[in-house]
């Protein structure tokens, strides 16, 4: 029995043991492997060299098995460390408010790379991406990590020359040095040793010295992805003897400086290429019609500016193409007919971007067969004819952009079938006809609808409930009225609504004000909308109700409001209810335009509450009193317009705190005292100074001459005395024909812009200058008590277009060099005491369209030129000793009367033509600031067109976009920076 018992025990024991052993092997697989002491020490030393502000390596500590440390991976048999995954785990996302990303920044590792890393003999994976090594060079010794197969240094902030020792990493399959802007390579010979390399990304590394880049890349037989975007590459050979890189699948050479015709070999690389990106270079010439890649899925040649010719039909035969972008180039001719289509393209194409070219002809019907197409961008071309109704068949379409073309006809009802459509932009065409409910029948996903600048008439039933919830609607100059469109009442997702000049002639419904609390941008400007706004509280960021019949007292503003434009309405009462709110209430208000209303009373002393105010226009109201000293607290102010009111007294000294002022218009008041000398000392950015028709007295302070950016100086109709300061030639903006680079005259804000306008008396009459104001250079000192001579320095103001010194007491001669003022279009010296002969050089003033020298004491013969004789005799009258044509007084008996005395009425025509001629280059240069940024951000291009929707004319968009030489110039500059 005992025996039995002991056997039983042994059996039980064995059974137990086997179960336990079985369990053990079940639970932990192989016997537990731990990392070696040596490698653990190496990692600890490596950690010591690092700075780790977020302490994400806290597990790298103590006696623990280092294979369990965060970011460390080991071989599961030997326990050797094989991988270090130390890329920043926090992903970057811009904080909307601070523009920073604190968590991301904090979790960056920094410091040094300790050579102890070399102890990790089996390391094959090293990821240090998105850290911040502060510009140190990539350590040479990384080249000794012979087992390395994966090295990711993406945006790890290494700098300096890439060490050639990396060429020893002969097992490397994956290498990314992307985005380390301070890295450069002088040659890439070392790369050719990486014979296993499959993936290489050196985007944003400076490779402009690496002229051998292509030869080297061509020796890498396994390379399948090559990313060399923004690498300052400028040479690409026209031919490549033998192509070894037959495995290439992805080739990204975008944003480089290639400035040559498209090399043919690129289009015959191999059959496996799927992705070819050559966008944003300076490539020229035509796309070769013969292409070798049958599998291509992605082709981007956009933003080169000069790729030209027709769109080769071979492109339409790439059956696997999913994305085709040819935008911002010079493609001409028609998009093409369907005749040569293989019939397969429609199967795969998802995005087609042909925008910003010179394409003409009709939008082809066959596009309607592209059933997979989601994005169709044809904007900014010269396409004409109707929108084909076949587009209604594109059942996957989400984005349809046909803006800035010459499309005409009506909007096809079939568009109402595009049930996936989210964004529709057809602005700036010549579309007409009626838009009804049918056009939107199935558009339940529509979010963006922009139809501005057409002649479309929107006619829907007053009880219509649209199937969509719009976020943005732009209907500038479409007819939405006369009734206020009631269907928008149910649009609860709107953030932008633009009914500028939309033919609405109605009372504003009360519900509209409730709706606006969600809408960030509202424009109802230029309609005939009635309504009382006294008790309304505006919640939107931007409100433009200009040019309507709104009446009542000023409304309340929430702190959200940044732009309030109520000019040209019937708003009455004092300013104080709007302005004199608690501190912070208006802290975001930047643009306040209340001009041309019926506001009355004095200016309140509450300006200290508007710290952000940059533009204030109270012109043409019934305001009176002194300009309060608290206005000096508007330290952000760039534009101050108080013209055409009844303000009197001296300007407060405190205004000199407004040092950013660029635009001052205080004309047509009763302001008195001296013109403050601080204007030249403090407000040195001043571009427009208009004090016309006040009671200013004293001298013109010579400090005015410090205003080198001045475009317009209008001091006419005051009581100024003394001499004209000779230093006026220091106003360099009037002396050189450069374009004004400060954007004082046009202010862009989210979703729109504010254009300054100014009444100027030019050529003897008042004209309103708006968009062309930035090209004007005008000086008007007329109707004062100025005396002395006209300083000869004035003749160096060669950019000045309008000069008026009439009705003063000036004497002496016209400066001899007046002919140097070659831009003069209008010159008025009448009603002074000037004498002597009219200088011969005046005959150089070939743009002169208006001249008045009447009522002086000029003598002698009027110099002969086509210009001077074309003016009427009246312009010379009152100078008894003057003779010659066009006066009927002959200078000598034998001289025949020459010229004619009649003035052509085409004067006005030529004025306008000249202005537009001279403004094109100016505009382009000035506009460049905005445009340049956009060029570099592909994704912004479309946003930019939407932003242009507001008022900028079609002509600007097309001409600017197509001036590729400018683009080139700019890009070069950017690269050099």
Ligand X SMILES: *[C@@H]1O[C@H](CO)[C@@H](O)[C@H](O)[C@H]1NC(C)=O
CB of 55 to ligand X, least distance (A): 20
Residues in CB range of 170: below 8 A, 6 or more apart: 146, 193, 194, 195, 196
What is the per-residue binding string for ligand X in 380-399, x denoting contact by CB under 6 A?
Answer: --------------------
CB of 261 to ligand X, least distance (A): 23
CB of 214 to ligand X, least distance (A): 10
Stretch that binds ligand X, among 217-225, 356-364, 774-782, 922-930 (CB under 6 A): 217-225
User: What does the radius of gyration of the chain's CA atoms come to, in whole angstroms?
Assistant: 37
What is the per-residue binding string for ligand X in 225-244, x denoting contact by CB under 6 A?
Answer: -----------------x-x
CB of 244 to ligand X, least distance (A): 4
Nearest residue (CB) to ligand X, 101 versus 396 = 101
Stretch that binds ligand X, among 218-226, 321-329, 514-522, 684-692 (CB under 6 A): 218-226
- Gap between the Cα atoms of 821 and 967, Å rounded: 32
CB of 33 to ligand X, least distance (A): 10
CB of 272 to ligand X, least distance (A): 16
CB of 257 to ligand X, least distance (A): 24
Contact with ligand X (CB under 6 A) among 25, 41, 68, 76: 76
- Gap between the Cα atoms of 401 and 425, Å rounded: 5
Contact with ligand X (CB under 6 A) among 157, 176, 245, 703: 176
Residues in CB range of 343: below 8 A, 6 or more apart: none
CB of 102 to ligand X, least distance (A): 18
- Which has the closest alpha carbon to 195: 234, 177, 169, 227? 169
User: Per DSSP, what are the bridge partners of residue 753?
Assistant: 748
Stretch that binds ligand X, among 213-221, 580-588, 758-766, 844-852 (CB under 6 A): 213-221
Instruction: Return the sign of the alpha-carbon dihedral for residues 687, 692, 694, 695.
Output: positive
- Gap between the Cα atoms of 903 and 897, Å rounded: 17
Residues in CB range of 492: below 8 A, 6 or more apart: 469, 518
Nearest residue (CB) to ligand X, 149 versus 777 = 149
Nearest residue (CB) to ligand X, 220 versus 478 = 220
CB of 194 to ligand X, least distance (A): 13
Tokens of 645: 């009111």
**Is residue 219 close enough to count as binding ligand X by CB under 6 A?**
yes
Q: Binding residues for ligand X, how many (CB under 6 A)?
A: 14
Contact with ligand X (CB under 6 A) among 154, 230, 281, 964: 154
Nearest residue (CB) to ligand X, 176 versus 590 = 176
**Is residue 496 close enough to count as binding ligand X by CB under 6 A?**
no
CB of 245 to ligand X, least distance (A): 9
> Which residue's entry shows tokens 């242009």?
948
Q: Do the beta carbons of residue 731 and residue 710 sit within 8 Å?
A: yes
Nearest residue (CB) to ligand X, 226 versus 564 = 226
- Gap between the Cα atoms of 320 and 867, Å rounded: 66
Strand ranges (E), 709-853? 712-714, 719-723, 746-749, 752-755, 758-762, 765-769, 778-780, 785-789, 802-804, 809-812, 826-828, 833-837, 850-852
Q: Rule CB under 6 A: which of 111-150 touch ligand X?
A: 129-130
Residues in CB range of 61: below 8 A, 6 or more apart: none
What is the per-residue binding string for ligand X in 28-67, x denoting contact by CB under 6 A?
Answer: -x--------------------------------------
Stretch that binds ligand X, among 215-223, 394-402, 481-489, 493-501 (CB under 6 A): 215-223
Residues in CB range of 306: below 8 A, 6 or more apart: 282, 283, 284, 285, 329, 330, 964
Listed in sequence order, the DSSP H helices in 286-436 are 313-316
Tokens of 299: 């082709």
3-state secondary structure (DSSP) of residue 275:
strand
Stretch that binds ligand X, among 158-166, 214-222, 379-387, 494-502 (CB under 6 A): 214-222
Residues in CB range of 201: below 8 A, 6 or more apart: 154, 175, 176, 177, 178, 225, 227
* Cα dihedral value 142, 145, 151, 154, nearest 10: -20
CB of 100 to ligand X, least distance (A): 19
Contact with ligand X (CB under 6 A) among 36, 107, 114, 152: 152
Nearest residue (CB) to ligand X, 62 versus 241 = 241
Nearest residue (CB) to ligand X, 244 versus 576 = 244
Nearest residue (CB) to ligand X, 120 versus 637 = 120
3-state secondary structure (DSSP) of residue 758:
strand
CB of 107 to ligand X, least distance (A): 12
CB of 62 to ligand X, least distance (A): 25
Nearest residue (CB) to ligand X, 177 versus 497 = 177
User: Distances from the Cα of 740 to the Cαs of 380, 546, 731, 736, 928, in angstroms?
Assistant: 27, 28, 12, 10, 12
Tokens of 109: 């590792």
The alpha carbon of residue 76 and the mean position of all alpha carbons in its chain are separated, in whole angstroms, by 54
Nearest residue (CB) to ligand X, 254 versus 638 = 254
> Which residue's entry shows tokens 């400090």?
703
- Gap between the Cα atoms of 616 and 639, Å rounded: 6
- Which has the closest alpha carbon to 238: 256, 272, 273, 214? 214
Nearest residue (CB) to ligand X, 178 versus 962 = 178
Nearest residue (CB) to ligand X, 107 versus 381 = 107
**Is residue 157 close enough to count as binding ligand X by CB under 6 A?**
no
- Gap between the Cα atoms of 389 and 393, Å rounded: 8
CB of 152 to ligand X, least distance (A): 4
**Is residue 87 close enough to count as binding ligand X by CB under 6 A?**
yes
Nearest residue (CB) to ligand X, 29 versus 160 = 29
Nearest residue (CB) to ligand X, 32 versus 492 = 32
CB of 82 to ligand X, least distance (A): 8
Listed in sequence order, the DSSP H helices in 29-151 are 37-49, 102-106
- Gap between the Cα atoms of 735 and 704, Å rounded: 15
**Is residue 218 close enough to count as binding ligand X by CB under 6 A?**
yes
Stretch that binds ligand X, among 216-224, 369-377, 404-412, 963-971 (CB under 6 A): 216-224
In the complex, the residues that contact ligand X under the rule CB under 6 A are 29, 76, 87, 129-130, 152, 154, 174, 176, 218-219, 221, 242, 244
């Amino acid at each position: 029995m005992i025996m039995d018992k002991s056997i039983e025990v042994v059996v039980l024991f064995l059974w137990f043991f086997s179960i336990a052993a079985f369990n053990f092997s079940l639970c932990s697989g192989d016997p537990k492997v731990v990392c070696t002491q040596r490698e653990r020490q190496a990692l600890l030393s490596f950690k010591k060299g690092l700075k780790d502000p977020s302490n994400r390596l806290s597990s790298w500590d103590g006696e623990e098995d280092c294979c369990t440390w965060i970011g460390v991976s080991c071989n599961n048999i030997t326990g050797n460390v094989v991988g270090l995954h130390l890329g920043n785990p926090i992903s970057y996302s811009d904080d909307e408010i601070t523009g920073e990303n604190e968590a991301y920044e904090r979790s960056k590792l920094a410091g040094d790379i300790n050579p102890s890393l070399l102890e990790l003999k089996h390391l094959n994976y090293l990821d240090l991406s998105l850290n911040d090594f502060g510009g140190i060079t990539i350590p040479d010794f990384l080249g000794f990590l012979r087992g390395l197969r994966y090295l990711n240094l993406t945006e790890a902030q290494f700098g300096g020359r890439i060490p050639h020792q990396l060429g020893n990493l002969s097992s490397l399959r994956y290498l990314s040095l992307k985005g380390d802007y301070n890295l450069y390579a002088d040659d890439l010979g070392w790369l050719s040793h990486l014979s296993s390399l499959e993936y290489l990304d050196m985007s944003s590394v400076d490779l402009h010295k690496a002229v051998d880049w292509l030869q080297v890349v061509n020796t890498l037989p396994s390379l399948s992805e090559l990313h060399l975007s923004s690498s300052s590459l400028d040479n690409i050979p026209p031919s490549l003897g033998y192509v070894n890189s037959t495995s290439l699948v992805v080739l990204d050479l975008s944003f480089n400086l290639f400035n040559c015709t498209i090399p043919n070999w690129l289009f015959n690389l191999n059959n496996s290429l799927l992705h070819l990106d050559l966008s944003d270079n300076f490539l020229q010439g035509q796309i070769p019609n013969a292409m070798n890649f049958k599998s291509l899925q992605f082709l981007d040649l956009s933003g080169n500016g000069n790729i030209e010719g027709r769109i080769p039909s071979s492109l339409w035969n790439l059956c696997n193409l999913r994305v085709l972008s040819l935008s911002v180039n010079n493609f001409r001719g028609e998009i093409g007919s369907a005749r040569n289509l293989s019939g397969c393209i429609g199967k795969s194409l998802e995005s087609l971007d042909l925008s910003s070219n010179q394409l003409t002809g009709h939008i082809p019907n066959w596009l309607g067969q592209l059933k997979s197409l989601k994005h169709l961008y044809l904007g900014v071309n010269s396409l004409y004819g109707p929108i084909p109704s076949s587009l209604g068949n594109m059942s996957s379409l989400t984005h349809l952009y046909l803006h800035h073309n010459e499309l005409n006809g009506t909007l096809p009802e079939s568009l109402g079938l595009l049930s996936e459509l989210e964004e529709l932009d057809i602005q700036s065409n010549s579309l007409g006809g009626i838009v009804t409910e049918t056009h939107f029948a199935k558009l339940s996903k529509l979010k963006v609808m922009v139809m501005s600048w057409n002649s479309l008439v929107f006619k829907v039933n007053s009880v219509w409930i649209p199937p969509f919830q719009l976020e943005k609607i732009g209907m500038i100059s479409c007819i939405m009225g006369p009734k206020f469109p009631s269907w928008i009442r149910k649009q609860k997702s709107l953030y932008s609504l633009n009914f500028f000049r939309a033919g609405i002639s109605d009372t504003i419904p009360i519900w509209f004000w409730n709706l606006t609390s969600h809408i960030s941008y509202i424009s109802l400007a230029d309609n005939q909308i009635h309504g009382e706004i006294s008790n309304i509280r505006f919640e939107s960021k931007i409100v433009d109700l200009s040019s309507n019949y709104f009446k009542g007292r000023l409304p309340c503003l929430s702190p959200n409001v940044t732009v309030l434009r109520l000019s040209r309405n019937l708003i009455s009462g004092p300013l104080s209810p709007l302005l004199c709110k608690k501190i912070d209430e208006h802290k975001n208000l930047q643009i306040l335009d209340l001009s041309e209303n019926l506001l009355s009373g004095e200016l309140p002393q509450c300006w200290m509450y508007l710290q952000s105010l940059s533009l204030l226009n109270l012109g043409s109201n019934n305001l009176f009193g002194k300009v309060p000293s608290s206005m000096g607290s508007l330290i952000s102010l760039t534009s101050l317009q108080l013209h055409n009111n009844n303000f009197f007294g001296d300007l407060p000294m405190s205004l000199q705190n407004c040092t950013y002022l660029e635009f001052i218009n205080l004309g047509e008041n009763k302001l008195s005292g001296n013109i403050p000398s601080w204007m030249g000392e403090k407000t040195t950015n001043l571009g427009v100074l208009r004090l016309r028709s006040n009671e200013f007295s004293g001298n013109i302070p010579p400090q005015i001459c410090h205003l080198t950016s001045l475009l317009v100086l209008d001091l006419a109709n005051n009581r100024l005395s003394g001499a004209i300061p000779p230093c006026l030639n220091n106003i360099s903006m009037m002396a050189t024909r450069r374009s004004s680079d400060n954007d004082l005259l046009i202010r862009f804000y989210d979703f729109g812009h504010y254009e300054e306008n100014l009444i100027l008396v030019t050529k003897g009459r008042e004209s309103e200058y708006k968009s062309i104001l930035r090209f004007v250079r005008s000086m008007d000192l007329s109707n004062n008590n100025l005396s002395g001579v006209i300083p000869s320095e004035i003749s160096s103001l060669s950019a000045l277009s309008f000069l008026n010194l009439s009705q003063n007491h000036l004497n002496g001669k016209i400066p001899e060099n007046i002919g140097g003022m070659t831009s003069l279009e209008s010159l008025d010296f009448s009603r002074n005491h000037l004498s002597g002969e009219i200088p011969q050089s005046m005959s150089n003033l070939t743009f002169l369209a208006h001249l008045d020298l009447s009522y002086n004491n000029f003598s002698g013969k009027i110099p002969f030129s086509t210009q001077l004789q074309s003016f009427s005799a009246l312009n010379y009258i009152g100078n008894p000793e003057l003779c010659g044509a066009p006066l009927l007084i002959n200078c000598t008996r034998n001289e025949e009367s020459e010229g004619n005395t009649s003035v052509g009425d085409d004067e006005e025509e030529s004025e306008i033509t000249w202005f537009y001629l001279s403004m094109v280059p100016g505009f382009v240069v000035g506009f460049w600031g905005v445009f340049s940024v956009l060029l570099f951000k592909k994704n912004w291009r479309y946003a930019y067109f939407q932003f242009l929707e507001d008022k900028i004319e079609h002509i600007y968009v097309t001409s600017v976009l197509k001036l590729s030489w400018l683009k080139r110039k700019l890009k070069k500059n950017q690269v050099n920076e």
